Structure 1
Amino acid sequence: MPAPAFPDHTLESAPAAARRSMEAVVNKQGHLPAAVSRLATSPQLLDGFLKISAIFESTTLDPLSREVLIMTIATRNDCHVCVAMHTAKLTALGADADLIAALRTERPLPAERPEAVRQFTLAVIATAGAVDDAALQDFLAHGYTPQNALEVVLGIGAYTMSTLANRMTGAPVGPQLAEFAPAPM
């Protein structure tokens, strides 16, 4: 049987250039997620995603807004690993169960401010960044800033990379996130 195109690398089997990034993930999370072990097939993609996601985490968008954006991308791109991981993050943030359920099923959110992030994220994607003034003004009217609008673009880029790569590699949801996994279709 031929080797899979995207094997579950260990620290020992991974390309040398990926090992530092993999070790950082193990040190932070306490385990090596399959998504990371498969992305290690491209050390540059793995390193790039980890760096850009860390930069996104340092933006002026609040943690809930960042997670709303990520879940919007994850559900739109049907990345079951990302949905599980970011459901867990939202749960850890104390997000309302109705908000999480709405994000997971791509429904309008029960709170206006997070819904403004979701709608703006979708508008940026739908228009390839050429959002009209009404969409931008609606986003700003919910307490966001022009800097936040550009940070939405950063988040879209980071999590489009992640969701597409995770889908391509067929990364499974690990046991640590099983309780947050989407139901099979």
Structure 2
Amino acid sequence: MPTAASYHFPDHTPETAPEAARPTMNGVTRHFGYLPAAVARMATSPQTLEGFQKANAAFTASSLDALAREVVVLTIATRNQCHLCVAMHTATLTAQGADAALITALRAQAPLPDERLEGLRLFTLEVLATSGAVAPEAMEAFLGHGYTARNALEVVLGIGVYTISTFANRMTGAPVDEQVAAFE
């Protein structure tokens, strides 16, 4: 039986989606080898889907390394209670060979075993809690872990990107795909 979310946000295919969403859906399918349900539902708004994809590409191209980006993403995903993002990015971290203790701590919203990454996690939470008006001490602590002013703005970018994703996934009721279900 369909849920209220699936009634309003169907699992589009490239054939049923609004035409403007189709190129993005096809690109995502090529990248992942399947069409994630989150993308199928977000395709209801081609602009939201395209905006997320373009912003995510910019975040991926930022100067934060892959592990740092995933710390930002999982910090947002757990804070925003997006079960789908938690599963997907747990899978990503696992594929990257990240330490199991790091993944467990991120998922539990607990202090990270790596001091530098914990500084990034705390800074991300501070940016969220203060809507960007971070205290000078928080900025100094972040910079003291070897991050830069550029990195601080890239955290803001990551927050923006994954606010789109987590909010859209929760609103649409996007389920965890079979391909990442083991990481739920």
What TM-score does the superposition give when structure 1 sets the normalisation length? 0.96
User: CA separation in 1, counterparts of 2:130 and 2:7?
Assistant: 37
Indicate yes or no: 2:144 matched with 1:161. no
Tell me which of 118, 129, 133 is aligned to 2:121.
Answer: 118
Q: Deviations over 1:96-125 (max 9, x none)?
A: 101000100101111101101100000001
Query: How big is the shift at 1:133?
Result: 1.0
Query: How big is the shift at 1:94?
Result: 1.0
Indicate yes or no: 2:112 matched with 1:81. no
1:27 matched residue in structure 2: 30
Query: How big is the shift at 1:75?
Result: 0.3
User: CA separation in 2, counterparts of 1:93 and 1:28?
Assistant: 17
User: CA separation in 2, counterparts of 1:141 and 1:47?
Assistant: 36
Q: What is the aligned residue count? A: 181
Over aligned residue pairs, what C-alpha RMSD do you find?
Answer: 1.2
User: CA separation in 1, counterparts of 2:180 and 2:119?
Assistant: 28
User: CA separation in 2, counterparts of 1:29 and 1:162?
Assistant: 17
User: CA separation in 2, counterparts of 1:8 and 1:180?
Assistant: 22
Name the structure with the higher helix share.
Answer: 2
User: CA separation in 2, counterparts of 1:177 and 1:125?
Assistant: 27
User: CA separation in 2, counterparts of 1:42 and 1:123?
Assistant: 31
What TM-score does the superposition give when structure 2 sets the normalisation length? 0.96
Runs of 4 or more above 2 Å deviation: none
Q: What residue identity is the alignment partner of 2:18? A: P
User: CA separation in 1, counterparts of 2:65 and 2:146?
Assistant: 11
List gaps (5 residues or longer) in structure 1: none
User: CA separation in 2, counterparts of 1:109 and 1:98?
Assistant: 8
Describe the SS at the equivalent of 2:7. coil
Indicate yes or no: 2:21 matched with 1:18. yes
Q: What residue identity is the alignment partner of 1:142? A: H
User: CA separation in 2, counterparts of 1:174 and 1:127?
Assistant: 33
Query: How big is the shift at 1:127?
Result: 0.8
Equivalent residues in 2 for 1:130-169 (5 A)? 130-169=133-172
List gaps (5 residues or longer) in structure 2: none
